[in-house]
């Protein structure tokens, strides 16, 4: 049974909403989770949203986006915010039965962000559910080395996958 599953949503923010829904449902059932889900907040007069990571099982939300101005084209990721979130998740990993990571993105492809923590969780025998944008599938596939299972963008199916691996 594959312990690394990933989902790719089609619409803007779809994967974020799916993973948040799955995490809420699993937490309501009492499953101990580690990880983060992303919440996007639209900003009046801005084309880009603020991105915050909700650390599962904790009250903290960590801002991972920088406001670079309306004309900015570069990466808005706040690397310090991302690393803060990674540290908070790492502290909760020993009690968890599942790791959820909002996105395997450019930082992870480059060897930063949640990449090492995903490997650590898998090494401990914890299942991992991660979101992957279509643009990052090649980098994720290189990381996963054929060990990841593509999952449907459906909250019920994702929840069933998680429960089957935690049970």
pTM exceeds 0.75: yes
57, 102, 109: which is closest to 81 by C-alpha?
102
pLDDT at 135: 94
CATH architecture of 20-67+75-135+143-166: 3-Layer(aba) Sandwich (3.40)
d(CA 12, CA 157): 20
Closest CA to 131 of 37, 23, 21: 37
3-state secondary structure of 146: coil
Phi, psi torsion values for 17, nearest 5 degrees: -65, -40
Between 155-166 and 14-28, two packed helices, what is the crossing angle to 10 degrees? 50
Rg for the chain, CA atoms, rounded: 15
pLDDT digits (tens, 9 = 90+) for 80-118: 888 999 999 999 999 999 999 999 999 999 999 999 999
Residue 49 has a pLDDT of 62
Query: Which residues of the chain have a pLDDT value below 70?
Result: 41-49, 66-76
Domain boundaries, the chain: 20-67+75-135+143-166
Q: How far apart are the first and last CA of the chain?
A: 12
How much is the pLDDT for 48?
59
Tell me what pLDDT residue 67 has: 63
């Amino acid at each position: 049974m594959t312990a690394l599953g990933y989902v790719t949503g089609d619409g803007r923010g779809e994967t974020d909403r799916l993973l948040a829904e799955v995490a809420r449902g699993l937490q309501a059932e009492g499953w101990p989770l580690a990880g983060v889900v992303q919440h996007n907040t639209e900003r009046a007069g801005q084309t880009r949203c603020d991105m915050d990571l909700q650390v599962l099982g904790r009250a903290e939300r960590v801002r991972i986006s920088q406001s670079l101005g309306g004309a900015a084209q570069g990466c808005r990721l706040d690397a310090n915010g991302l690393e803060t979130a990674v540290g908070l998740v790492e502290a909760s990993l020993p009690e968890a039965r599942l790791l959820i990571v909002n996105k395997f993105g450019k930082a992870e492809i480059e060897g930063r962000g949640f990449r090492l923590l995903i490997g650590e969780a898998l090494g401990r025998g914890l299942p991992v559910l991660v979101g992957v944008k279509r643009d990052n599938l090649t980098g994720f596939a290189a990381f996963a080395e054929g060990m990841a299972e593509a999952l449907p963008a459906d909250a019920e199916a994702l929840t069933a996958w998680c429960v089957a691996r935690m049970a």
